[in-house]
Amino acid sequence: MNKYAGNDCVTVEGLDRDDLEQLFDLAQKMDKIVKDRTTAELLKGSILGLMFFQVSTRTRISFESAMRRLGGSVVGFVDPKTTRIGDYYAESMHDVVRMMENYADVLVIRHPENGAPEMAGTITEIPVINAGDGDNEHPTQALLDLYTIRCEKGTIDDLKIGFVGDMNLRVFHSLPIALAQYNAKAYFISPPEVSMSSTWIEEFRQAGLDFEEISSLDEIIDNLDVIYMEGVKTPSYHIGRTDSVGIRPDMPHEWILDSKKVKRLKSDAIILHPLPRTEELPMEVDASESARYFAQAGYAVPVRMALLSLILDRIP
Ligand code: CP
């Protein structure tokens, strides 16, 4: 059974363990195509439509790469200012989605407003994939994060997974929901001022997630199997990092995973980060045996290849 077929992927809610494992097993098959640096014809004739209202490096380019690796093609925009959305007409999301459904077979939408991809899904019959909406969800990031853990640790069950940083970030919402399908324990590690909102805490409870909130990285770092880093001082999406010097507060040292802290990790612990990074993950850590964030960004391609195949119901 393929629960993904013809459906939107705007949240990880509703995906059970069998659905996740089906996707990961298929991603493992897709991985061979990626590693061999070749292409297949599975999605030949299919067109992916990109609608990026916010900038992206990994999500957009890995979706493009995934579609092209499977023989499909890609249309769309990566900056709404280059379309009629950005000129005098300020063309509405509604009208643009109505156009795009004529030009593509599946849409990938990133938008600064919570719920925008879900709303798009109500306008069109073609499947919509959420590539990140506001501070709500980033479901395909969660899928590739879980796949990374499965590949790099051999299992997702029985692991202690620490999420470090500003809990308002969308990557910290989708992954715990999906993680609830496994017997892992989540630790939300942040200063109180950027702790998990009560709304998401309630969502995690309802999903059946085993979790704990902790306000000190120092307290837990030695016990983690996976440490998923983000900054506790999130830069504004609207002001460049260099332009925000002097406006944005410095990252407190206790929330920076430097080499000294890395030495305290379990010898087989892995470090993840969705990237891009700021001061919370210095480049000195890249040489560590535990660093897996570049591999994580690489797993984006086979996972998104698998997702596109399942949604378009063309399984090899
Ligand atoms: N991880 C992630 O979403 O990166 P981008 O913002 O570059 O797509």
What is residue 73's three-state secondary structure?
strand
Q: Which atom of ligand 1 is nearest to the CA of 274?
A: 1
> What is the model's pLDDT at position 233?
80
Q: Which atom of ligand 1 is nearest to the CA of 57?
A: 7
> What is the model's pLDDT at position 316?
85
C-alpha angle 122-174-241 in degrees, rounded to nearest 5: 100
List of the chain residues with pLDDT < 70: 235-249
Residue type at position 204 = F
90-115 confidence digits (pLDDT tens): 999 999 999 999 999 999 999 999 99
> What is the model's pLDDT at position 242?
58
Q: Which atom of ligand 1 is nearest to the CA of 297?
A: 1
C-alpha 5: how far from its chain's center? 20
> What is the model's pLDDT at position 236?
59
65-85 confidence digits (pLDDT tens): 999 999 999 999 999 999 999
Give the contacts of 199 (CB within 8 A, at least 6 positions apart).
Answer: none
CA separation for the pair 244, 229 (Å, rounded) = 21
CB 58 less than 6 A from any atom of ligand 1: yes
Protein residue with its CA nearest to atom 1 in ligand 1: 274
What is residue 147's three-state secondary structure?
helix
CB 57 less than 6 A from any atom of ligand 1: yes
Classify residue 196 as left (phi > 0), alpha (psi -120 to 50) or beta.
beta
- Centre of ligand 1 from the C-alpha of residue 59, in Å: 5
pTM of structure: 0.95
Burial of 134 (0-12, 13-18, 19+ CB in 10 A): middle
CB 78 less than 6 A from any atom of ligand 1: no
Protein residue with its CA nearest to atom 4 in ligand 1: 58
Q: Which atom of ligand 1 is nearest to the CA of 110?
A: 8
CB 187 within 8 A of CB 215: no
- Which of 141, 170, 293 to mutate for ligand 1's pocket (most ligand atoms within 8 Å of CB)? 141
CA separation for the pair 110, 116 (Å, rounded) = 8
Protein residue with its CA nearest to atom 6 in ligand 1: 56
What is residue 281's three-state secondary structure?
coil
> What is the model's pLDDT at position 119?
98
Protein residue with its CA nearest to atom 7 in ligand 1: 57
Handedness of CA 207, 210, 213, 214 (dihedral sign): negative
- Straight-line distance from the first to the last Cα atom of the chain, in angstroms, rounded to the nearest whole number: 14
List strands edge to edge, sheet with 47-52. Answer: 73-77, 47-52, 106-111, 128-133
> What is the model's pLDDT at position 245?
57
> What is the model's pLDDT at position 147?
98
- Centre of ligand 1 from the C-alpha of residue 275, in Å: 6
